């Protein structure tokens, strides 16, 4: 059955409302949460009750059959890291097929290289982003620092244009950020446009130019993703518009920046990278953006109120909705359906609750929504789960959970069992989830059920976990999708990619 949401206070179950208001509920103080932990540590003497504030994902009998697709070379961060969470075989971050009909798939490694891989072939380096921007290039601190993402223009086959995001240490460059940077800027997130001389070539040769540079105070929650809408058609208003998911720099828990429309932090931006009417003259601001022309607001803003937007994608079927995974401060992982002008609420809201930024008890930061909540106009999740820690877990430490957004399956190879289902997961422990898009209705009174899918190794036929596949308790799971809509799983732990080649078991209820 669908899960009751906290979007409307009248729908709160009385017992749950009392638990939210009166119990210690797993939330760290403002400065405690930085990045998902690798694994639980022994809790201190003072511990919080382990009451779950959202229902657990439901174990499903449906499983995904996965087959190893590619092994990526070992890579190293720059400078050498001290955080063990950055000591991965390869920090592969995404997989997407080039929109040129070649079947080539682009895979960025946060440590600097952009790889291309084809069916049955070994990955090869297409472009070394880290070397291009050395010595300013920076990937040795912060889980998202480095070369984070690549997005190929929908007309890449003809124009050879694509875009990348990378980070630089502010102290190593004389460049100034565009728009308004965060105070005490320590890091820059940069979007670069590249134009290939020959779009069909196996390695990049061509030119580049800087499009946008943003300044962040913290080393986390920077520019998390860039992407073009694959459902947009040439000549349409959304064709060629670049969406840019910008985190809060790790500081939004203690300020109002994600709610401030004059700042880029904690926003989903939408720009025309081929235009030129922006403040820096390097891109365009679409006139149909929801805040374009509003005094005091950045016209680039498409939606706001974000903490750490971790992967968004469009459903290529149905109503072409945009779904986004949103990593929470300490206890709640959410998926949103995002529309133009939306306010996800951070840091006034966290998931389907009021978030108290300065609670008297640091373990009591989640509150029920007020009776008059509708007047604020916040957008709430269509699916969410909590960290479900053990009963003796210390509420001021991080148990290590973080959502990784995925894709709605619209391919043909896996059949009807999965079609129309949003597949996503937890990037730390590697659990793979699914929710039916028919239940992911933001205007409904209930959130969608989250099902935990099984995994099967195609090579052995055995049931496995993502931890088994990755050979590590910290999987660092990501998802990929090809042009046919087929799905892939990626693990930084061992630098491998698996293709989902089949399903096993009955369909979701």
What is the set of domains in the chain, with CATH numbers? Answer: 3-49+92-406 (2.120.10.30)
Cis upstream peptide for 79 (omega within 30°):
yes
The pLDDT score that the predictor gives to residue 51 is: 57
Residue 112 has pLDDT above 90, yes or no: yes
* Beta carbons of 495 and 481 less than 8 angstroms apart: no
**Average pLDDT, stretch 229-248?**
98
Residue 77 has pLDDT above 70, yes or no: yes
Distance CA 375, CA 346 (A): 16
* CA–CA dist 186, 87 (Å, integer): 22
Cβ neighbours of 157 (radius 10 Å): 15
Of 129-143, 390-404, 406-420, the range with the lowest mean pLDDT is 390-404
Averaged pLDDT, 47-51:
41
pLDDT at residue 36 above 60?
Answer: no
Centroid of chain to Cα 268:
12
Q: Annotate 399-455 with three-state secondary structure.
A: CCCCEEEEEECCCCCCCCCCCCEEEEEECCCCCEEEEECCCCCCCCCEECCCEEEEE
- pTM (2 d.p.): 0.92
Examine the pLDDT at 449 and tell me if it is beyond 60.
yes
Interval 418-448: pLDDT, tens: 999 999 999 999 999 999 999 999 999 999 9
Task: Flag whether pLDDT at 1 surpasses 70.
Answer: no
Start-to-end CA distance of the chain, whole Å, equals 9
Q: What is the mean pLDDT of residues 141-160?
A: 97
What pLDDT shows up at residue 24? Answer: 35
């Amino acid at each position: 059955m669908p899960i009751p949401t906290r979007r409307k206070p009248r729908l709160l179950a009385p017992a749950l409302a009392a638990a939210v208001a009166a119990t210690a509920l797993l939330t760290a103080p403002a400065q405690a949460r930085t990045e998902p932990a690798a694994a639980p540590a022994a809790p201190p003497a003072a511990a919080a009750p382990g009451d779950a504030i959202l229902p657990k994902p439901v174990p499903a009998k449906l499983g995904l059959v996965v087959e190893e697709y590619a092994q990526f070379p070992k890579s190293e961060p720059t400078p050498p890291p001290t955080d063990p969470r950055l000591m991965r075989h390869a920090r592969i971050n995404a997989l997407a097929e080039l929109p040129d009909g070649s079947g080539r798939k682009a895979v960025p490694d946060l440590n600097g290289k952009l790889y291309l891989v084809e069916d049955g072939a070994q990955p090869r380096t297409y472009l070394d982003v880290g070397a291009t921007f050395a010595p300013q290039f920076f990937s040795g601190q912060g889980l998202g620092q480095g070369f984070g993402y690549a997005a190929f223009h929908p007309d890449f086959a003809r124009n050879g244009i694509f875009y990348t995001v990378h980070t630089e240490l502010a102290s190593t460059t004389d460049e100034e950020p565009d728009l308004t940077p965060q105070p005490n800027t320590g890091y820059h997130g940069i979007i670069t446009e590249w134009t290939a001389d020959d779009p069909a070539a196996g390695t990049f040769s061509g030119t580049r130019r800087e499009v946008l540079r943003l300044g962040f105070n913290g080393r986390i929650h920077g520019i998390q993703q860039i992407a073009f809408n694959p459902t947009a058609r040439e000549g349409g208003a959304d064709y060629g518009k670049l969406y840019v998911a910008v985190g809060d720099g790790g500081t939004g828990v203690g300020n109002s920046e994600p709610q401030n429309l004059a700042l880029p932090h904690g926003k989903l931006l939408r720009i025309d990278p081929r235009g030129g009417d922006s403040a820096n003259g390097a891109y365009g601001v679409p006139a149909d953006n929801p805040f374009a022309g509003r005094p005091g607001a950045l016209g680039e803003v498409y939606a706001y109120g974000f903490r750490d937007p971790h992967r968004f994608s469009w459903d290529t079927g149905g109503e072409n909705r945009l779904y986004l995974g949103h990593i929470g401060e300490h206890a709640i992982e959410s998926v949103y359906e995002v529309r133009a002008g939306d306010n996800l609420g951070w840091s006034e809201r966290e998931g389907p609750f009021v978030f108290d930024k300065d609670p008297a008890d640091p373990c009591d930061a989640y509150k029920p929504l007020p009776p008059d909540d509708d007047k604020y106009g916040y957008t709430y999740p269509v699916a969410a789960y909590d960290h479900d820690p053990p009963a003796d877990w210390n509420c001021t430490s991080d148990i290590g959970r973080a959502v990784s957004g995925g894709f709605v399956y619209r391919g043909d190879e896996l059949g009807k069992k999965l079609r129309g289902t949003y597949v996503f997961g937890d990037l730390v422990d590697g659990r793979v989830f699914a929710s039916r898009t028919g239940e992911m209705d933001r205007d409904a009174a209930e959130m969608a059920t989250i099902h935990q899918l099984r995994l099967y190794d195609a090579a052995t036929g055995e049931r496995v976990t993502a931890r088994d596949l990755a050979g590590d308790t910290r999987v660092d799971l990501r998802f990929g999708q090809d042009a046919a809509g087929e799905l892939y799983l990626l693990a930084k732990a061992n630098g491998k990619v698996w293709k989902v080649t089949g399903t096993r078991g009955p369909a979701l209820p």
